[in-house]
Amino acid sequence: MAANHATSIVWLRRDLRLSDNVALERAARASERVVCAFVLDPVLLRSDRVGAPIVCCFFDALASLRDALRERGSDLALLEGDFETELRGLAKRAGATALFYNVDYEPDAIARDERVTAGLRADDVVVEASVDHVYFGATDVLKPDGSPYTVFTPYKRRWLERCEREPRPATDSLGAIRRRLATADTIGETLAVPKPEDYGHERSPKFPKGGETLAHDTLATFLEERGGAYAADRNEPAKPGTSHLSPQLRAGTIGIRTCVAAVVDARRGARGTRATGFDTWLSELIWRDFYQQILANVPRVADGPFDERARALDYRTSRDDFEAWCAGRTGYPIVDAAMVQLNTFGWMHNRLRMIVASFLTKDLLLDYRLGEAYFEQHLADADKAANNGGWQWSSSTGTDAAPYFRVFNPVLQSEKFDPDGAFIRSMLPALERLPARAVHAPWILAPLEAEALGFRLGRDYPEPIVDHAEARVRALAAYAPVLGKAARPREAARSDAP
């Protein structure tokens, strides 16, 4: 097929990879030469909307992408500044007549892309957007009446039917770019991959790394060694039961079609609990698509509750309680250990995300948006759709959310999912020597026993900042008048926890 364009740009954003990349594949099929570009936004990078873990992960991914391009005789056009100005400038310098990109459903990203598209079109540059970061796009899986699903279970059923009928194989972008990548001289001047410190972010070797090879290895190892046991192990934070792929999926160092194809393949021939393990993991990938389509179809969730009755919730405004939650000083070991995991590793286990979110919004009765923003600043996988979906699920304000009267008991959750306290001990050395029954609730230790262990509540570890039983009553009193009224119309029963 004759190429339509001598030179095209692929504007990479949350798709930092060469394999299974729809925009890259389309650009390569339509052009003689393809320039891969990334634009650093100094305002965003210096703002409190991003934190060190995600910046470090993205910069790693950019460095590995550049290596992969250089190995192929090309380079990454790394620019910094205003998106429109930079991309119009690059198009002129490289003589590009087209720009390809993969869509992002975040409202800010949509506004940015519209602006950039208008600017490039004014220069007669053709702009083409593709769906890439989700398996099915926001309008691919809709209810029979054409409206979006807001309950997960029927969405998943429809998603699986469509996947069976029309599976989306991994895109062969690697094949398509062969002999199509622009040489370094077409690309011209390009920046070095910056250091996180350049934008005020401190690096830590404990943060998740990013990169395409690493992402593929992570997926393969997970499916081979742990995927079959996922259903059983996914809720215990002390076990390496989950894939840890979320930072990679966020930076797009691996394609979602690659992940789905790999788990469907692993599932083939698996039986019993192994089969359930793979099915459950696929379900989590569907939750990811579900929240993406919610953000795309109901963008107001980015700023406020999906359930509009929840606007009337009278949250408390205690800075001290919020700070204690952020710092892991609530006096509830499972909550504090989880926050230490987040603050240290830039990642938190899913079960713990649900526990700390319930604690913030129910036990402390603070606005879910505070927790959502804190997660956004501290997670390497911070993603508007999944984060907002998770917070609104936990605070009972979202689509298909936990009912308002479901208030996680942090001690029972701890006993159930970290039975011998291994996870708590690994994050909170002050509790290392406590016996299993007390590691979940140190205040139950008798003074003599505590003394024998060299442990003093209030000195070595904080006393609980709230009494859970009382806090639960307070939460129900606040939530019931607002969310306990006539239920919203639903298309099916509630789904299981994500």
Ligand X SMILES: Cc1cc2nc3c(=O)[nH]c(=O)nc-3n(C[C@H](O)[C@H](O)[C@H](O)COP(=O)(O)OP(=O)(O)OC[C@H]3O[C@@H](n4cnc5c(N)ncnc54)[C@H](O)[C@@H]3O)c2cc1C
Interacting residue ranges for ligand X, rule: CB under 6 A? 234, 242-246, 249-250, 284-285, 287-288, 291, 350, 353-354, 357, 375, 379, 381-383, 386-387, 389-391, 394, 498
Which CB sits closer to ligand X, 223 or 434? 223
Cβ-proximal residue to ligand X, closest one: 390
Rounded least distance, CB 286 to ligand X, Å: 9
3-state helix, strand, coil in the chain (%, to 5): 55, 10, 40
Rounded least distance, CB 382 to ligand X, Å: 5
C-alpha span between 498 and 496 (Å, rounded): 6
Which CB sits closer to ligand X, 86 or 376? 376
Which CB sits closer to ligand X, 11 or 375? 375
DSSP string, 320-371: HHHHHHHHT-SS-HHHHHHHHHHHHHS---HHHHHHHHHIIIIIS-B-HHHH
Rounded least distance, CB 291 to ligand X, Å: 5
- Helix (H) and strand (E) counts for the chain? 23, 5
CA-nearest of 324, 479, 313 to 405 is 479
Rounded least distance, CB 228 to ligand X, Å: 13
Which CB sits closer to ligand X, 35 or 215? 215
Rounded least distance, CB 437 to ligand X, Å: 28
Cβ neighbours around 460 below 10 Å, total: 17
Which CB sits closer to ligand X, 394 or 399? 394
Which CB sits closer to ligand X, 59 or 368? 368
Tokens coding 172: 């062969």
**20 conformational bin, left if phi > 0, alpha if psi -120 to 50, beta if neither:** left
Listing from the earlier edge strand, what are the strands of the sheet with 76-80?
Answer: 76-80, 31-40, 5-11, 98-102, 126-130
Which CB sits closer to ligand X, 55 or 354? 354
Rounded least distance, CB 58 to ligand X, Å: 14
Looking at residue 134, its amino acid is V
Rounded least distance, CB 340 to ligand X, Å: 16
CA-nearest of 189, 164, 34 to 98 is 34
